[in-house]
Chain A
Amino acid sequence: MGDVKLFWTWSSPYAQRIVWALKLKGVEYEIMYEDLTNKSSLLFKYNPIHKQVPVLVHNGTPICESLVILEYIDETWKTGAPLLPEDPLARAKARFWAKFNDEQVLPSLKHAYLSHGLEQEKAKGHALNNLDVVEKQLTGKKFFSGETIGFLDIVFGWIAIYLEILEETSGMEPLDKERFPFISAWKENFSDNTFFKEDRPDKEKLITMYKGVREYFRCTAAAK
């Protein structure tokens, strides 16, 4: 297995997906907690370009960028079910939807959470349209990968923790079960697993932190 360290913080959806992947593969790892307001010299050493979490350090070799790390984990540890499907076309599709999540879905929800008033209404509309696309991908399936949890479930897994935090802290309504029946059911199925429940970031701590970030952005925008 080797020496595995994960530079992580509890408020990062990108870092949390690595925890899930390592647990699913049964890989033992050590958490290197990062306070993002006071980043460690080790983080700068292992991720000099972006200086961000997550960083996986395997036998001294750093791997950065969460999607890159997920593929590395899948290629390195062959225990448990593979995260990505075997078929090249299915892999291409999974990679495409992962990119869509990271470039469109998650940033659009983040934008809606950080904005106010009319801007928030517009941003919310855009974010919900993105979720409609996700709902279509999930339609008829228990998990994105089919009957069992895989790569895409881990990529979209932030929805099961952070979506309600974004909603609660920014006054957005909870996810509409009528508009998003498959995402709503998927959330329940994804959350109902040991790997998810163990080391789950504390909800109250997340709410306090995300409220603070939203307020900071509001003050910064008002000051301009």
Chain B
Amino acid sequence: MTKPSEIKLLGAPASPFVNRVQFVLNLKSIEYEFIHENLASKSELLLTSNPVYTKVPVLFHGNKTPIPESLIIIEYLDEIEPDVHRILPTDPSHRAENRFWANYIDTKFFPLYEELRMTPDKEGKEAIKKQIIEVSQLLEDTFVKFSNGKPYFGGDDVGYLDVVLGCFLAWTKFVEKHNDMKVFDEVRTPKLVEWVKRIWSHEAIKIDVPSNETLVSFYMMLQIHKPPRAA
């Protein structure tokens, strides 16, 4: 059992990649210290612990080498505490499927939100919104396949893809509101709509979902530091 205060997580509450690690720490009942990073003015700690990417999250476990990259951190936590709420399944082909879709979500789904923000013109935005809808449909099909009639991607309880996709739901709500669109809706993606409600009421998840105020502050910072492309 991991001793309390042995684990530290460097992060920003608005970062979904940080949130997903927090979800896993909660699910595994691992106590940790949260070190708040200001992404507008990166700390010495971040620059030295993740010099390659200078991004959060970064996990510190005792005096060991810091571990960056959220999916890598999650697998590390699953390996050091395998007996408390296993995140990835044990079967190699199911593990492979989970890893494949995590990679897809991180490279083909979430980046569309940033692309939407960066695109200045209406036509361009409409094209990206269309892509988001298409991907959400694919995710609905994936949920149906993975859940197999059960409440979560992981089956009876939250698993890997539940935290991998679940961490993006606060930003999804934000994007929907600011772009007059529905990413998940009752007609196109009914199972995911139900799943979203379940995730947001889950004990280990709801405590670390960032507030709208937190996202708004972060969004304002992004608009200044990485302004949308010129029209």
Of A69, A89, A92, A133, chain B has the most CB atoms within 10 Å of the CB of A92
Please give me the residue from chain B that is nearest to A94 by CB atom.
B72
Number of interface residues of A (CB under 8 A): 23
The A contact surface, by secondary structure, is helix
Would you call A91 and B76 a contact (CB within 8 A)? yes
Chain B residues whose C-beta falls within 8 Å of the C-beta of A133 in the assembled complex: 52
Quick check: is A71 within 8 A (CB to CB) of the other chain? yes
Q: Which one, A59-67, A114-122, A145-153, A186-194, is touching chain B?
A: A59-67
Report the separation of the CA atoms of residues A76 and B104 in the bound assembly, to the nearest whole angstrom.
Answer: 23
A100, B52: Cβ atoms under 8 Å? yes
B208 close to A (CB within 8 Å): no
Bound CA–CA A64/B97 (angstroms): 8
Chain A residues within 8 Å of B95, by CB: 71-72, 75
30 contacts between A and B (CB under 8 A): A49-B138, A63-B96, A63-B100, A64-B100, A65-B99, A68-B100, A68-B103, A69-B96, A71-B95, A71-B99, A72-B92, A72-B95, A75-B92, A88-B76, A88-B80, A89-B64, A89-B67, A91-B76, A91-B79, A92-B67, A92-B72, A92-B73, A93-B67, A95-B75, A96-B67, A96-B68, A96-B69, A100-B52, A104-B52, A133-B52
Asked if B41 CB lies within 8 Å of chain A CBs, one says no
Provide the bound-state CA to CA distance between A64 and B96, in Å: 8
A214 at the interface (CB under 8 A from B): no
Assess whether A68 is in contact with B73, with CB atoms less than 8 Å apart. no
Enumerate A37-96 residues with CB–CB distance to B below 8 Å. Answer: 49, 58, 61, 63-65, 68-69, 71-72, 75-76, 88-89, 91-93, 95-96
Contact of B103 among A65, A92, A93, A95 (CB under 8 A): A65
Which residues of chain B come closer than 8 Å to A65, judged between CB atoms? 99-100, 103
Inter-chain CA distance A49–B100, complex, in Å, is 10
Residues from chain A with a CB closer than 8 A to the CB of B52 are: 100, 104, 133
The answer to whether B72 and A95 touch across the interface, beta carbons within 8 angstroms, is: yes
Cα-based distance from A49 to B76 in the complex (angstroms): 28
Report which of B64, B75, B99 forms a contact with A68, defined as CB distance below 8 A: B99
Contact status A89-B65, CB under 8 Å: yes
A178 to chain B, nearest CB (A): 24
* B72 proximity list for chain A (CB < 8 A): 92, 95-96, 99
Cβ-defined contact, B76 with A63, below 8 A:
no
Q: Tell me the complex Cα distance, A95–B95, Å.
A: 15
A sample of 4 more A-B contacts (CB under 8 A), given A89-B67, A91-B75, is A65-B99, A88-B76, A92-B67, A95-B72
